[in-house]
Copies of this chain bind each other. A is one copy, B any other.
Amino acid sequence: MSAPTVAPTVAFDVFGTLADPASYALGLRPHTSEPEVIAASWRRYQLEISWLLTAAGRKLDWSTVTAQALDMALAATHVQLGEQQRAAALERVAVPELFEGVPEVLDELVGRGVRMAVFSNGDVGGLDRILAEHGIADRFEEVVGCSEVGAFKPAPETYRHLAARLEAPLEGIWLVSANPFDCAGAALVGMRVAQLASPASPKYPFAPEPELVLDGLAQLPEALPWE
């Protein structure tokens, strides 16, 4: 009998995984009658712009992508915001709420000796601010943002950059993400993937299936294997 001795290394996606996308609607609520509709369009355009920029070999800061996506969502829904209202909506998204129970799950993982990093499309300064304002910065050994790379997820170089920052092979790192395109990109480069999935999450047939599919972050500590 051999007892498992090596603690896993885990990289957490942020938007949609640790942080609640409800923030997109919250900042719009005071100014529009359909905050959820605009918020869904905003999030879609944010991803669409990031994919198109990466496919086109171009790079912008995540904050710029986020602002351009808001403008596209407003144009699509024929809603106009004043400059201050727009700035307030962007500020609201800059520091989103965490999902319920996130700090507790992170603490449990730290207690088990899991090595943890944040790995997001976001700009590093913005990520540091989110972690600081929620008081969870000290749970993570590294904060890796795609602003350090000339591309967004699912570009292979973003995952390779993560592995370089963690000084670990891709095959030795778990991605934990609720974003199916992120899970697909990680699986394609050989990372281990724990996807937080709902029945509505699309499955991309071009990528290997995730090794773990969980209903939520709370299941992670028990599900994560030691080797």
Interface residues, chain A, with chain B CB atoms under 8 Å away? 45, 48-49, 51-58, 60, 68, 71-72, 75-76, 151-156, 181, 184-185, 188, 200, 202-206
Contact = CB atoms under 8 A, between A and B. Distances in A.
27 contacts: A48-B51, A49-B204, A49-B206, A51-B51, A51-B52, A51-B55, A52-B154, A52-B185, A52-B206, A54-B55, A55-B55, A55-B151, A55-B152, A55-B153, A55-B155, A56-B188, A57-B155, A57-B156, A60-B206, A68-B204, A68-B205, A71-B205, A72-B203, A72-B204, A75-B202, A75-B203, A76-B202
Contact of A185 (B56, B75, B184): B56
Given A52-B51, A55-B54, A188-B56, A72 B155 contact: no
Interface majority SS (helix, strand, loop, mixed), chain A: helix
Given A52-B185, A56-B154, A56-B156, 5 more contacts: A48-B51, A49-B206, A51-B51, A56-B155, A72-B204
Contacts of A75: 202-203
